[in-house]
Structure 1
Amino acid sequence: MHVVIAPDCFTGTLTATQAAEAMAAGWAQTAPGDVLTLVPLSDGGPGFLDVLERALDGEMIATIVGDPLGREVPAGVLLVGAEGERTAYVESAQAAGLHLLAASERDPAVTTSYGVGQLLLAAREAGAKRVVVGLGGSGTNDGGAGLLAALGAGPPEHLARGGLALRDLGPDALAGLDRVQAEWAGIEIVAATDVDNPLLGLQGASAVFGPQKGASPQLAQDLEGALGHYADRVWRFGPPRTDLLTGTPRRLDKEPGAGAAGGLGFALFVLGAHRRSGVDLVLDAVGFRDLCAAADLVVTGEGSFDWQSLRGKVVTGVAQRALATATPAIVIAGRVLVGRREAMGVGLSGMYAVAADPAQEEAAFADPVGTLRARAARVARTWSP
C-alpha cells in the first residue's frame, strides 16, 4: 500500500516536517510493508519557504529583518529563475509570525509588520520581477501599515507602532504612498493567502483573528476602528482602482484575502498585488496531483481541524486534490472540532484526533511527537490491510 503523508505544521508544537516524520514513524510501526511518501506542506504561513525550497530549484538569500516588536531576526528570500525573470518567494511569518513572540508579548495593539516590508525590499534588491508573499501565522493586526512604512509610504513613527496607533493617523501619514505604488508598478506581487477574509467587519482581521493574537474583545473592537480609519487614509493618497467589469471603484478592504495575516493582504493589494490560494500554490509546486494519483491513501494533518480549516487551509486543499483523483484522504489532527458532514463535504473519508479531551490535550502538548506517532499507529490499523 502506498501512503502519501502530507500535513501542515501543528502550530505551536511541530513543524510540518516534524509532523510528517512523526506520523510516518507511527504508521510504519503498525504497517511496516507500506510505502510512505512524506510531503510536508504549508498554506502560506510558517514553513512556506522551507516547503518551496525543497520543491523548487532556487537560491536562498539570507537577510536580517525586524520581528513584530522590532528585534532583529534572521529571514530568507528564495530566488527562482534566470536573471531578469526571477521570482522571489518570501514568508511573512519570518518577520511577523506569532511564533516569534513569547506568550506575554502577544499584543496586536503594538506589533508591527515593518519587517515584512524589509523582506519585500530584499526581494526587489535581489532582482526579482515577481514576488510571491506567503501570508499566515502572523502576530500582527496593523493592516500592513508597517510594511508600507518600510517601503517609504509614511513615517515609521506613525505607521509602524502597531494596529491601535493607526486610529491617530493624521492627514499626511501616507503622503509617500503614491510614490511607493509607482516604484512597485513594474513588479508583479502575489499574495498567497491561507484565508479569504476581508479587512473589516464581522469576518475581518480584528474580529476573527485578533483574539488568537492576544486581543481582548474590547481591544478587537478598538483595532477594528483603527483599521477603518487607516483604510480611509489609504484612499486619500492611493485612490482605489476601477473594476473593469462594472466601472465602479474597487474596495480593496473588502477583497477576499485583504484580512489575511492581520491585514497584510490589504497592504499588498494597495501595491497592486493579486491573490492566489497559498495551499494551491504549494500543492502545484510539489506536483501533488501526480502524487495523489500514484497513492492508495493520503494522510494530512494540522494542529486543530476546525471551521477555519474549511476556508483555504492545507487539510481542505489536500482533500480536494485527492478527491480529484478518487484517492481516499483522512486527517489526523491535534484536535477535531468539525462535524463528519462538513468533513465529508470537503472530501475527507475520516478524521482522527490526537487529543479527545483536556487531559489528552495536556499530554499532547507535553509530548507532541510521541502522541502523534501513537495516534498514527492506531489509525494505520484501520486503513492498512
Structure 2
Amino acid sequence: MSRDRTGCAFGRHAHLAAPGIALLLLLSQTACGIAFARPNPTPTATATATATSTPTPTPTCTATATASPTSTPTATTTPTPTLTPTNTPPPDVVLLSPMSHEYQDWNNCAPISTAMVLSYYGIQKGQYEVAAALRPYKDDKHVEADEVIAYLRGYGLEAGLYVNGTPERLEALVGAGVPVLIQTWLNDRPTGHYRVIRGYDRNAGVFVLNDSYYGPKVTLTFAALERVWAPFNHRYIPVYPPERADEVCRILGEDCHSESMYRRAAAAARAWIERSPNDPYAWFSLGDDLLALGDAAGALEAYGRAAQIGLPEHMLWYRFGPFEAHLALGQYEEVLSLSEPILAGLPSIEELHIFRARAYEGLGQTDMAREEYRLAFLYHPSYPPAVEGLQRLGAELPPTPTITPTRTPKPSSG
C-alpha cells in the first residue's frame, strides 16, 4: 500500500535544483492547519464555496454493520437502517447522517476525521482517544493513511487508500452510503489536511464535508475541491463494513485492483502534464504512480522535474516517494542526504528515521540503523516498522514514553 502522511506546512514555494533529486525542503512547525484551539467555523479561505445552504438528506444514509474493536476501549454501536443500493444512480442530494463533529486541537485533523467517520457507524470516540493511538507523541505533525486504515480496521470496518479520484467517484461512494476521507491542502496555502466527504448537492455544485478546522457540513465547490485535492494525487479512503466490499469494488471498477488503478493514474498524470507541463503536482503524482508500478528510476525522474519546477518547501512532510525510490535503487547515501536537513528542522518525523535506518542497513552500518529505529520508536511508541526493525537487528525495545492524557470535549453531532 502506498504510504502517505498528512500534517501541515505553511510556506513559500521553493525552486529547487534536482541533481539526483536533491529536494532540500526545510520544514516549519505547524501541522494540520491548527495553531489555536478553535477557529471560526465560517471558512474564509479561498478554497471554500460561497454556498451557505445545507443539502437536504436524500436519503439519510446510515450503516448496517456492527463494528467491534480489537484493542482499544469498547466501542458503542447502534443499529441503523438499510443503505441505498449501489445499482441505482446516486441521488442528486445526499447527506450521510448521523455524524459527529469536533474542532481539532494541535495537529489533530487525522484523529478527528477518523473519529467522525467512526461516529457514522455508531462508534463514538473523541479526538484525544484516537490521537493516543495514531499520534501519541504530541509534536508528531502528521498521520499516514495506512495508520488511519489500520485503526479503522481495528473497529471491524474496511478501508483502503486509492488515487486518481474524481468528483463522480466521490458522488458514487457517498451516494451509496460510504463516507470518504480525503487528503488535501487546507486551502490555497500548502498545509496538509484530512477531511470527510459526507454529502453533496449536484444542484448547487458542492460537496458537503465535516472539517475539523472549518466546521461541520462545510460546502466546497467541485472546482475548489480540485484545487486542494489534486496536489495529493486525488487520494481518497472509502470506509465501509467488510460485507459491502464487493459493492464498493463495483463502484471502484478497474481501480479496485492496485496495478490497474496505478496504470490508469499514470495515464491520467501524463494527460495532466500534457495540459499543464509546468505543474509540479502533476509530475510528483506521476512519480508516485510510476513508483507503485515498480519503475523507481522513472519515478525519480518525475520527482526531479517536479522539484525543478518548484514544490512547496514542506512537501516531504507529506510525500515519501523520493525516499522510497532511492531505497529501491540502492541509492542509500541519497536517502541520508535528502532527509538530514529535514530532520535538522524537525526531528520527530518517524518515517524519515525508518528510511534512514533502512539506508544504513543497506550500507552495512547496523549500529546506525539501530539508532534510527530507536528514534522512530521514541517519536512514535510501538510504531510497527520501528518495532520490527529493532527486533530484527537484535535490539531491545526502548521504554515506552509516558503519554499525558488530554481532555476530550464532547463532540457535536449532526
- Asked if TM exceeds 0.5, the reply is no
Bigger proportion of residues as strand = 1
TM-score (norm 2): 0.28
TM-score (norm 1): 0.30
Larger relative contact order (Cα-Cα within 8 Å, sequence gap ≥ 6): 2
